[in-house]
Chains A and B, each alone.
Chain A
Amino acid sequence: MIPPDLLAQFEADYFGRLSVAEQQSLQESLRARPDWQEELRQYHQLWRGLNKLGEDQLRQNLANWENMASSTDEAELLEWYFQNQLSAENRQWIDEQRAANPAFAKRFEAYQKIYHGLDQLGETQFRTRMNEWEKETAPQASATDQTTGRRVALRSYRRVLAIAASVLLLIVAGLLWRNQANDPQALLDDLYTYPVTGNTLGNDSISQAEYLAIFDQAHQAFQQKNYESAVELFTTLSTKVPPDTFVADDLSYYQDNVEWMVVLSRFGAGKTAGDFSQRLRSIADNATHRFQEQAQKLSDQF
């Protein structure tokens, strides 16, 4: 049998991670052991299959993300059209769509009116603002010293009030934060919501039933403050291939929930070392994540 250290090198070679010199050295090891040829061939077959499965899974994810992201594509495309940013061929493609598709032609006209109107409105408002700036600077140029002095004093007074209000706000916010930070359980209760289930479409299958059972069990553990168990169960779910009966909405819903609950459970169990911060940040920075707001709140406290 090929020893693990060498197997790691054969794998690195298969996936293109070795230098030329390392590849040559490895080939020499292989020439010295013809009895490894068949075993290596089998590993190549496994890596080929695993690689393809991984790519299939990635493409499935890309398709799901595409569905979520493409709802504003038409508006964006037409905006580029009106801004004259498209190639001649793509402008022509849009013109052909207008000619062939009356519904699209109507939407095109509607967007055209909107963008043109927004353009005009923007220009009008900008002119209005310029006029206001003009008025603000003109009187100042002709003010007497006394008047100027009073204006300066008033501005300073307002400024002092504004600063005082900000400081007061910070003090109050700090007190509130300290209260919550001193009580992690209150924070956990605030950030946790029981999920809405039962809206999954498609036929019940054993794998779907199993997935949902573990999901429910994990949430029960969390509600009973058995955070260690909740961590284990949610982490298990995060490593499972989701049921293939889930449609894109379900997939997104459960994935977001599980991702967030892994983080929240770990916080409850005090397991905040390792990649905890990274996981929390990746949710807090993700505008499309269902639990972005909660993650940001936890991130601020943490």
Chain B
Amino acid sequence: MSKYVKDEQLLQQLAYGLEADWQRFYEQERSAFRLYFLKHTSQDPEAIRRLYQDALVVLHRKISREQLVAPLRSSLRTYLIGIGKMLHRKQWQQQTTLWEDDIPEIGEAPSVEAEHERQAAAELVRGLLDRLEEGCREILTLVYLRSYAMDAVKETLGLPSVGAARKRKFDCLQRIRQLL
């Protein structure tokens, strides 16, 4: 039996992709994260606010790409703070910070894509999305921009099955590619 049943239920909820669940998680974890880094680092509240958002982005990416799945080896809070520690080390190059607890470090593969390349790609795709018909724009928005799980896409769009949702997604992906 997993030690983190409640956290795994929460993980499943977050993986579904609904914004309301992510917002609640954001508000729920905010104080604990802030206090941890205000206590153990020299960073000011504004820097820690940015660190929290960066950590949430990483966690969101891991969950929506199914890189964090049950069974969990720690609570989600511990995991999120671990991401914060990893980002703190990268951002402030502080190898010598002595963490007074056993929240593990989380390794993260460095991104090989420069920010300006990603920005240019985003602008290109934004224009392409505007040229797509409504149905395709809807499904690509849900899947890629809002990170909805296929179950959630199927329910939201009233499709008969997850397979049908996946097929429509790839049909639309092919259509947007043809606009390139």
| CB pair B57 A62 closer than 8 Å | yes
B76 at the interface (CB under 8 A from A): no
* Complex contacts, A87 vs chain B, CB 8 Å: 38-42
* Complex contacts, B167 vs chain A, CB 8 Å: 4
* Complex contacts, A287 vs chain B, CB 8 Å: 24
A189 at the interface (CB under 8 A from B): no
| CB pair A45 B121 closer than 8 Å | yes
The contact string, 1 if C-beta is below 8 Å from chain A, for chain B 140-180, is 11101111000110011110000000110011011011001
B6 at the interface (CB under 8 A from A): no
Contact of B44 among A56, A66, A93 (CB under 8 A): A93
Bound: A298/B22 CA distance, A: 22
Contact of A52 among B23, B60, B119, B158 (CB under 8 A): B119
| CB pair A77 B38 closer than 8 Å | yes
Contact of B65 among A15, A61, A90 (CB under 8 A): A15
| CB pair A52 B41 closer than 8 Å | no
Bound: A50/B123 CA distance, A: 9
B124 at the interface (CB under 8 A from A): yes
Contact of A49 among B18, B26, B66, B125 (CB under 8 A): B125
B101 at the interface (CB under 8 A from A): no
Given known A-B contacts A15-B65, A59-B53, A54 and B126 have beta carbons under 8 A apart: no
B19 at the interface (CB under 8 A from A): yes
Bound: A245/B60 CA distance, A: 26
| CB pair B44 A53 closer than 8 Å | no
* Complex contacts, A46 vs chain B, CB 8 Å: 121, 125, 128, 173, 176-177, 180
| CB pair B53 A62 closer than 8 Å | yes
* Complex contacts, A69 vs chain B, CB 8 Å: 26-27, 30
A205 at the interface (CB under 8 A from B): no
B31 at the interface (CB under 8 A from A): yes
Chain A residue nearest in CB terms to B61: A55
The dominant DSSP class at the B interface is helix
Bound: A134/B41 CA distance, A: 46
| CB pair A288 B27 closer than 8 Å | yes
| CB pair A85 B125 closer than 8 Å | no
Among A1, A53, A69, max chain B CB count under 10 A is at: A53
Contact of B156 among A1, A80, A85, A238 (CB under 8 A): A238
Bound: A65/B65 CA distance, A: 23
* Complex contacts, A90 vs chain B, CB 8 Å: 38-39, 42, 44-45
Bound: A1/B174 CA distance, A: 9
Chain B contact-residue range equals 35 or more
Contact of B67 among A8, A16, A283 (CB under 8 A): A16
* Complex contacts, B66 vs chain A, CB 8 Å: 17
| CB pair B57 A59 closer than 8 Å | yes
A285 at the interface (CB under 8 A from B): yes
| CB pair B20 A286 closer than 8 Å | yes
| CB pair B145 A282 closer than 8 Å | no
* Complex contacts, A58 vs chain B, CB 8 Å: 56-57, 60, 147
| CB pair B177 A39 closer than 8 Å | yes
A86 at the interface (CB under 8 A from B): yes
Bound: A292/B146 CA distance, A: 23
| CB pair B121 A54 closer than 8 Å | no
Bound: A4/B175 CA distance, A: 12
* Complex contacts, A59 vs chain B, CB 8 Å: 53, 57
**Min CB distance, B171 to chain A, in Å?**
8
Question: Which of chain B's residues 109-131 have a Cβ closer than 8 Å to chain A?
Answer: 109, 113, 117-119, 121-126, 128-129
| CB pair B155 A275 closer than 8 Å | yes
| CB pair A65 B40 closer than 8 Å | no
A89 at the interface (CB under 8 A from B): yes
| CB pair B170 A62 closer than 8 Å | no
B21 at the interface (CB under 8 A from A): yes
**CB-defined A-B contacts under 8 Å, sample of 25:** A7-B170, A8-B170, A39-B177, A46-B121, A46-B128, A46-B173, A46-B176, A49-B118, A49-B124, A50-B140, A50-B144, A52-B125, A54-B146, A57-B146, A65-B23, A70-B49, A77-B45, A87-B41, A90-B45, A93-B44, A236-B138, A239-B156, A259-B20, A278-B13, A289-B20
Q: Which residues of B contact A (CB under 8 A)?
A: 13, 16, 18-24, 26-27, 30-31, 34-35, 38-42, 44-45, 49, 53, 56-57, 60-61, 65-67, 109, 113, 117-119, 121-126, 128-129, 138, 140-142, 144-147, 151-152, 155-158, 166-167, 170-171, 173-174, 176-177, 180
For the complex of A and B, the 4 pairs showing the least CB-CB separation, nearest first, are A49-B125, A89-B42, A49-B121, A52-B122
